[in-house]
Structure formats: C-alpha cells, structure tokens
Amino acid sequence: MIVPETADKIKSMEIRGAGRIARAVAEALRDHALAVRARAPGAFRQEMERAAAMLLATRPTAVSLPNAVHIVMAGLGHAQSTDEARAGVVRRADEFIRSSQNAVERIAQFGASHIRDGDTILTHCNSEVALACIIEAHRQGKEIEVFATEVRPRNQGLITIRTLNDAGIQTNFIVDSAVRSFINDIDLVIVGADAVTVNGAVVNKIGTAQVAHSAREARVNMMVAAETYKFAPRTILGELVRIEERAGSEVLPDEIARTLPYVTVRNPAFDVTPAEYIDLIVTEKGAIPPQMAYIIIRDYLGWGIDEFHTAFGPEGLNGE
Ligand code: RI2
C-alpha cells in the first residue's frame, strides 16, 4: 500500500525535505484515491481521511505536509459520486505537484538575482529550493563558492555537497560548529524553511538559528528560500509550530547511552530563527521581508486550515 509505505519513508526520513515531503504526500493521496475500492462517496471519503491522518501523523514540524494534505483533500469537495470525488483528488494532487515544482523554479530565478558574481555563500542542511537558487546563479555564469555544513545528527550536508559537486560548484564542507570561524568569509547565507510563522519567524533545521546569530553579528545577509505552502496559516490563530524531537539514538548510540544513566540525549530536529535575523524570504510570489509573512498567509493560503478550499479556489493552488 502506497500510503503506509510513504508514511514510513517520511518517518524514517528516507523521504525528507519539506517540499519533497509535500509532493510525496500529494502523490500518495492521489494513488490511494485511484486504488480505493469503496463504491459509496461516504465510504470513499472515510478511506481518504484515514490515509490523510496516517500521513499527517508522520512528522509534526514541516507545515508543507498538512498544507499539501488539505489542498489535495479539498478535491473531495461536495462530490455526489465516488468517481467525482476521485477525480477531484487526482486533479488537486497533480496541480499541487506541478505548482510546487514551478514554485521551486521561480524561486531559483528570484533567489539567483540576489547572488552576486564572486559571492561566497553559506548554506545549512539540505534544502532543494535554497540549492536551486545557488545552482541557478552558477548556471548564469556567476563565480560563486559555497560553505556547506555537516548537519549533525543526520548529516544532510552530505546530500548538499554531492549536489553542489555534481553542479561543478566549488564547495567547502565544514562541521556545524565551524560556522562562526568562517562567517567573515561569507557574503550571503541561504537556507530553506520547514515553516514560516505569521510573525516572520523561520522554523528550519536545528542549527539555523545559530547560523543566523553569527551572520547577524558579522553583518552578513541571511536569505530564506520558501514556497508559499511553507507558511503556517494556523499561526494566525495563535497555534505554535511543534518542534519535532527525534530519537536520542540519532545523536548517541544506545549502547553508549545505556552506560550513562545520568545523561539524557536531547535531539530537537528544528529551531526557530526570529524575523529580525532574516533579511529576505524569497517565495514564488517574489521576495518579501519576513514581516510580510502575514500577507502571504492571508492572500495565498487563507486564514485557516478550514478556509483552504475557498482560498485556493477551484483552479488549484494559488489560483494558477
Ligand atoms: P526543502 C528539511 O528538513 C531542512 O530543514 C530543510 O532546510 C527544509 O526541510 C526545507 O527543505 P528535514 O526533512 O523543501 O531534513 O527546501 O528534517 O528541500
């Protein structure tokens, strides 16, 4: 079954990265809709809701996941027949996937124009869309060099350096704690986002806030690349983004931890960078100061989860 498989892969981080997770979820819901045998529309809806709940329970922080689920599930609409409901889900899923890919391409264009010839860029973790900006700048012939962090404990930095290497971009691989030592060599920090809250704070891979802190102290600009579906509508209603805390064994093997009864391993996967540490958030709708996050949520996502359907309109994501 595609849904439990996708859910397991998201949990284990075989599928990871906020945008990729969102597209995988849309794909799983679409394939599930095509496979469900239920004849009555009510039973079909129930089956889809069960699948959505399973996907939603995988990882709590990247808001692209619930946003994608709600966008796709809105395809059920008020369908009178199972065929109609199925077609609605498939259409919304395909639209979401296409529009997510388009968003990455547009952000790459906008983001690349903020990169100057000769810049040295620092990136943290592995963000598809942050890397797309860097690769696009390189493609445009700008001479750039990158510092990429290791990203303990899951070492997503390895994926980043492979991608940069494949693109032929000169890259320096550093441990996370070396950011402060190199920050004076950096012209621009570019990271992705798992969630952007209504007050412009960016939730991203653990360590991002420390990077931002160093950048601020050294007067280095910090740019965040984030599609609009990474903005968290429910933060308008006062809801907080939940920071995932993963197993301690990712940081310290159990056999060592067992010998240290007074030691507790803490392993939060994300942290929060306040808006005042961020110069720019580049979305597919253009670059905004983080303080404008509210506008993105209001104009492109609607006021709350329940309003997704109306906010996105019958034409699909962002009315495109
Ligand atoms: P894109 C990742 O989370 C990283 O925190 C990354 O910065 C963010 O998602 C956005 O990734 P994880 O899944 O959507 O590695 O830009 O925990 O690829």
Active site residues: 125, 194
Tokens coding 242: 């939940």
Which spans in 113-248 are helix H? 128-139, 157-166, 179-182, 208-217
Q: Whose CA is nearest to atom 5 of ligand 1?
A: 205
Cα–Cα distance, 209 to 55 (Å, whole number): 28
List, edge to edge, every strand of the sheet that includes 195-196: 195-196, 202-205, 270-273
Bridge partners of 122, per DSSP, are 147, 189
Model confidence pLDDT, tens digit, residues 91-146: 999 999 999 999 999 999 999 999 999 999 999 999 999 999 999 999 999 999 99
Cα–Cα distance, 113 to 106 (Å, whole number): 11
Nearest alpha carbon to residue 22 among 97, 102, 134, 78: 97
Q: Phi first, then psi: give them for residue 18, nearest 5 degrees.
A: -55, -40
| Residues of the chain by 3-state class (helix, strand, coil), percent to 5 | 55, 15, 35
Nearest alpha carbon to residue 287 among 242, 205, 208, 228: 228
Q: Is 128 in the pocket of ligand 1 (CB under 6 A)?
A: yes
Please give the single-letter amino acid code of residue 287. A
Please give the single-letter amino acid code of residue 171. T
Q: Is 316 in the pocket of ligand 1 (CB under 6 A)?
A: no
Report how far ligand 1's centroid is from the alpha carbon of 126 (Å): 6
Q: What would the mean pLDDT of 269-291 be, rounded to a whole number?
A: 98
Report how far ligand 1's centroid is from the alpha carbon of 59 (Å): 12
Ligand 1: which of 20, 127, 158 to mutate, most ligand atoms within 8 Å of CB? 127
Q: Phi first, then psi: give them for residue 117, nearest 5 degrees.
A: -60, 130
Q: pTM above 0.85?
A: yes
Model confidence pLDDT, tens digit, residues 159-193: 999 999 999 999 999 999 999 999 999 999 999 99
Q: Is 282 in the pocket of ligand 1 (CB under 6 A)?
A: no
Q: Is 129 in the pocket of ligand 1 (CB under 6 A)?
A: yes
Read off the pLDDT band of 303 (50, 70, 90). Answer: low
What SS3 class is residue 293? Answer: helix
